[in-house]
Amino acid sequence: MPPATASDASTLARDFDLRHLDPAFHADPYPAYHALRAYEPVKRMPDGSLFLTRFRDVQAVYRDAKTFSSDKTVEFKPKYGDSPLYAHHTTSLVFNDPPRHTRVRKLIAGALTARAIAAMEPGLVRLVDGLLDAAAERGRIDLIGEFASAIPVEIIGNLLDVPHAEREPLRDWSLAILGALEPSLTEAQFERGNRAVDEFVGYLRDLVARRRREPGDPQHDVLTRLIQGEEGGEQLSEVELLQNCIFILNAGHETTTNLIGNGLVTLTQWPEQRAALLHEPSLIESAVEECLRFESSNQLGNRMATVDTEIGGVVVARGTPVTLCIGAANRDPEQFAEPDRFDIRRDPNRHLAFGFGIHQCAGLSLARLEARIAIGRFVQRFPRYRLDGEPTRGGRVRFRGFAEVPLELEPAASRTA
């Protein structure tokens, strides 16, 4: 396909509307992001909101949490009305400002210390190796359904100590609730999301009652930690507790699934990078960072201007919704040399895949560990794995990933320990 001309790119930027996107954008949003960054880096949407694509603008908004609020009580009302989805998304950690945000984040972060995460590694290795053993027997695998999605379900389920027999609905609930965060929402998505919140809350109410009767170890069990609250401090209300349990279960699912899936697919498209990782397994940490930058699992963030201000020289009125395009910021040539090149040795690599500032992802160290073990061990175990048909995209704008990726496996001659 010939490269787009300047007039093509300016037209692409001029006509861009987040609520009306064609299938080509879902397959490859990066030409649109490049066009916007070049011609309308602070793009005013037809609905009056702003769409940011430059790294420096996105980072500046993340940095200034007072001017740019994460609270969604006003912004989500027209979209969700008085629905279960509204109750969930306006109570969850990610869509709140201090002091509520600080209180909940502190409780969650206390169970995600470096020591606690390091203690998860042996169990994670066993889980991944078991999934790889099963795949080796079959000779092929759906990368998403039979590998990438199975890992965070297990890890987050362990964090909240959800009984194994009760984990099956978690992923579907998560996909339905997160799917309702898309810029434009169908009636079916809205109904599915609301039903998932109701079912999830009903399940968690029972789980919380059981955990109150038999508390776990708050050093490792996040649910017990949330129930007990800060020592000598205030406790979470029942609504805060239930909705933030949903948030924790959701936050670690789709984004980590996408990170693992996107990473392993991208490595098939850049064979020299896969060969380098095979030859030097120690490159896995920087490879994970490049996967995060190159195909960011979470492509969009949202803020609301609390005062009259400006972004990148553009006047912004108080109350203006602002969309932060993480996927575009992470391909900004001002920040990254050859941004469309996948380079597992890239250094420095100060991407925004986990956000920035007070809302930076609380589980980033856990996500990195899961990706390092999953991607690293998959590549070493199946050095010649290849696509066995066309992958199916997840059809999301906010969360970029695949719904299905058929792979044919060709294991190494001997098992890599």
Q: Give the span between the Cα atoms of 279 and 164, in whole angstroms.
A: 37
| pLDDT of the residue at 413 | 55
Q: How confident is the model at residue 231 (pLDDT cuts 50, 70, 90)?
A: low
Q: How confident is the model at residue 100 (pLDDT cuts 50, 70, 90)?
A: confident
* Selected residue with higher pLDDT from 254 and 372: 372
pTM tops 0.75, yes or no:
yes
- The CATH number of residue 160's host domain is 1.10.630.10
Q: How confident is the model at residue 416 (pLDDT cuts 50, 70, 90)?
A: very low
* Residue 190: Cβ-neighbour burial (10 angstroms; 0-12, 13-18, 19+): middle
Q: Give the span between the Cα atoms of 393 and 400, in whole angstroms.
A: 8
Q: How confident is the model at residue 2 (pLDDT cuts 50, 70, 90)?
A: very low
Angle at 27 between CA 95 and CA 342, to 5 degrees: 85
What single letter denotes the amino acid at residue 291? C
- Whether residue 59 lies inside any domain: the answer is no
Mean pLDDT, all residues of the chain:
93
Whether 378 and 263 have beta carbons less than 8 Å apart is answered as: no
Q: Residue 214 gets which letter from DSSP?
A: S
Show Cβ contacts of residue 99 under 8 Å, excluding neighbours closer than 6 positions.
Answer: none
| pLDDT of the residue at 411 | 65
Q: What is the pLDDT of residues 160-189, one digit of tens each?
A: 999 999 999 999 999 999 999 999 899 999
- Whether residue 316 lies inside any domain: the answer is no
Section 309-324 average pLDDT = 97
Section 185-206 average pLDDT = 96
As a whole-number percent, the residues of the chain with pLDDT over 70 amount to 96
Q: Which residues pair with 42 in a beta bridge?
A: 52
- Whether residue 51 lies inside any domain: the answer is no
pLDDT above 60: residue 414: no
pLDDT above 80: residue 115: yes
Q: How confident is the model at residue 1 (pLDDT cuts 50, 70, 90)?
A: very low
Whether 398 and 181 have beta carbons less than 8 Å apart is answered as: yes
| pLDDT of the residue at 232 | 66
- Whether residue 317 lies inside any domain: the answer is no
Q: How many domains does the chain have?
A: 1
Q: What is the pLDDT of residues 38-93, one digit of tens each?
A: 999 999 999 999 999 999 999 999 999 999 999 999 999 999 999 999 999 999 99
| pLDDT of the residue at 417 | 42
* Residue 348: Cβ-neighbour burial (10 angstroms; 0-12, 13-18, 19+): exposed
- Whether residue 217 lies inside any domain: the answer is yes
pLDDT above 50: residue 148: yes
- Whether residue 10 lies inside any domain: the answer is no
- Whether residue 67 lies inside any domain: the answer is no
State which residues form the domain around 109: 76-292+362-408
Record the tokens describing residue 56, joined without a space: 């420096």
Q: What is the pLDDT of residues 262-274, one digit of tens each?
A: 999 999 999 999 9
Section 311-321 average pLDDT = 97
- Whether residue 6 lies inside any domain: the answer is no
Whether 243 and 134 have beta carbons less than 8 Å apart is answered as: no
Whether 410 and 393 have beta carbons less than 8 Å apart is answered as: no
